[in-house]
Amino acid sequence: MALTVSKTPTGSEYKVKDISQAKFGRLEIELAETAILIETVTALGAEVRWCSCNIFSTQDHATAAIARDSAAVFVWKGESLEEYWRCMEKALDWGPGGGPDMVVDDGGDATLLIHEGVKAKEEYEKSGKFPDVNGCENGEFRIVLRIIKDGLLVDPTRYRRMKKRLVGVSEETTTGVKRLYQMQANGTLFFPAINVNDSVTKSKFDNLYGCQHSLLDGLMRATNVMIAGKIAVVCGYGDVGKGCAVALKQAGARVIVTEIDPICALQALMEGIPVLTLEDVVSEADIFVTTTGNKNIIMVHHMKLMKNNAIVCNIGHFDNEIDMHGLETYPGVKRITIKPQTDCWVFPETNNSIIVLAEGRLMNLGCATGHPSFVMSYSFTNQVIAQLELWKEKGTGKYEKTVYVLPKHLDEKVAALHLGKLGAKLIKLTPAQATYISVPVDGPYKPPQYKY
């Protein structure tokens, strides 16, 4: 399956749902402050090719505006997995003599595609064999291997050229960072990486305050149910879970947390939130939200026990916190699509239904428009700083093939840049005060180990 693209009058490639929505998209961008990252790096002189990190996350009118005005865009809301990975491949394709020089990643899929492409090329040179597509059990990874195989047949050196040319990657998410550290540990990381996710101005703001806003936005757009009075189970009480629990409590829900970590569990209890197991509450709760970053959190045997019209959704880790495969293959189960990304699943034994949002993927992206742009600006400022740092230091040897975190003074700078918009004014340490607590007058004000 080849991806057919169009071109703007200036020759920029794109594949979007409807380019005629560009005018509306531009008005929305100016109102909601979206497209911050793309248009910032474009303004700094970068040539950008862009695809999505999630098959449901795109705002089609905004992508039309970006395609018309700023960058090569290959994305639309509701892509199939095949289309998603084809768009990823196209975004990485600058032609025989082109880039990319840098990758801004969100979830690690672009990084994964490059690494797997190089791995496949090296295996072919060694054994004469392409990836065993049919022998792969994971359906999505089968697509990845097929795309790599097809690409190598057309251009055998493409992934090796990327490996040689790439200066580095900056990674946005918990999942993507986990993959980077795994590659670092086994010695397979091809280029330097900056872990943006663990900047305080990302993890404590995007993950906490972003989810605090966008969880309820997604629930209300998808179902419009009354949240007050309902029993809501939040699986996991990390930063994402904390934001979700606060939002649900503020909306009047009776919140229960599930946890494996005794420290997180104790934090929930100190906030007045009961900590129980999923088995304790599965038949009583009205709303279930997974936030853990792990897999196999809500399984089909749990869903069978839920009350009629219980809502099941994920705002944590891509698409494997909820057992969608088990649900989709359950004998006799019936799927009724109410609207895109809102499905009722009816179990044959009880005729009870559950409502699953965004097919188990990130519901705030699938059912709403993700986090508000202002909180995303914190994350994207970190991304831009990381990109500038990697590019500035290319060829100096400062950054090796390992994973780095931005230093504390840059974290504080990101926060400071956003204070004026909110009308904040900081006080200034005197030299005597700074000496007393052993920090510089101008910061950083906390040691690296400080837990915010």
275-to-241, 256, 260 alpha-carbon distances in Å: 13, 6, 10
418 assigned ligand-binding residue: no
225 assigned ligand-binding residue: no
61 assigned ligand-binding residue: no
Residues 6+ apart with CB under 8 A from 170: 102, 103, 104, 105, 193, 194, 196, 382, 383, 386, 387, 390
259 assigned ligand-binding residue: yes
82 assigned ligand-binding residue: no
How many Å separate Cα 142 from the centre of its chain?
22
317 assigned ligand-binding residue: yes
Dist. CA 31–CA 22, nearest whole Å = 14
Residues 6+ apart with CB under 8 A from 267: 237, 242
409 assigned ligand-binding residue: no
394 assigned ligand-binding residue: no
257 assigned ligand-binding residue: no
210 assigned ligand-binding residue: no
242 assigned ligand-binding residue: yes
213-to-21, 153, 321 alpha-carbon distances in Å: 26, 46, 21
239 assigned ligand-binding residue: yes
8 assigned ligand-binding residue: no
- Is residue 36 within 8 Å of residue 13, measured between CB atoms? no
175 assigned ligand-binding residue: yes
Dist. CA 218–CA 107, nearest whole Å = 20
325 assigned ligand-binding residue: no
Q: What is the CA radius of gyration of the chain?
A: 23
Residue numbering of the annotated binding site for NAD(+): 173-175, 238-243, 259, 315-317, 364, 371
Residue numbering of the annotated binding site: 173-175, 238-243, 259, 315-317, 364, 371
